[in-house]
Amino acid sequence: STIKIRLRSNEELEINTANDLSLMEAMREAGVDEMRALCGGCCSCATCHVYVVQGSPELAVVNDLEDAMLSSILYRKEGSRLACQIPVTQTCEGLVVEIAPEE
Ligand code: FES
């Protein structure tokens, strides 16, 4: 899928990524290093917080564990997701995400 990442500098990066990765892994593979993703994708750190700016509405739906993690952080807003909880699939084609500010 082709996914656009808006960095904290407001620069936009377009990545092409294979399915079977999480968005967090895909971003790391593409060299995006401003997202710490400390827990490595276990949904227990919330440092992979992104905002879904554009894309299929189902991409903005959070799972229960993710919702619990997100409820503890400061910069949650509509479209908040944890990038490690977004599997890259065909649905992600054209997705635009913005990296949330560091907590
Ligand atoms: Fe820790 Fe996503 S990498 S919650």
Residue-wise pLDDT tens digits, 11-30 = 999 999 989 899 999 999 99
Parallel/antiparallel/unpaired status of strands 12-16 and 49-54: unpaired
Main-chain phi, psi angles of 6, to 5 degrees? -95, 115
Amino acid 52: pLDDT: 98
Taking the CB of residue 47, how many other CB atoms lie within 10 A of it?
18
Amino acid 103: pLDDT: 87
Taking the CB of residue 31, how many other CB atoms lie within 10 A of it?
8
- Mutation test residue for ligand 1: of 43, 63, 103, the one with most atoms within 8 Å of CB: 43
| Ligand 1 site, residue 48, Cβ cutoff 6 A | yes
> What is the CA(10)–ligand 1 centre distance, in A?
22
Q: Where are the domains of the chain?
A: 2-99
Residue-wise pLDDT tens digits, 46-80 = 999 999 999 999 999 999 999 999 999 999 999 99
Q: Please state which of the four CATH numbers 3.30.413.10, 3.40.718.10, 3.10.20.30, 3.40.50.1980 is assigned to the domain occupying 2-99.
A: 3.10.20.30
Amino acid 30: pLDDT: 95
| Ligand 1 site, residue 41, Cβ cutoff 6 A | yes
> What is the CA(11)–ligand 1 centre distance, in A?
23
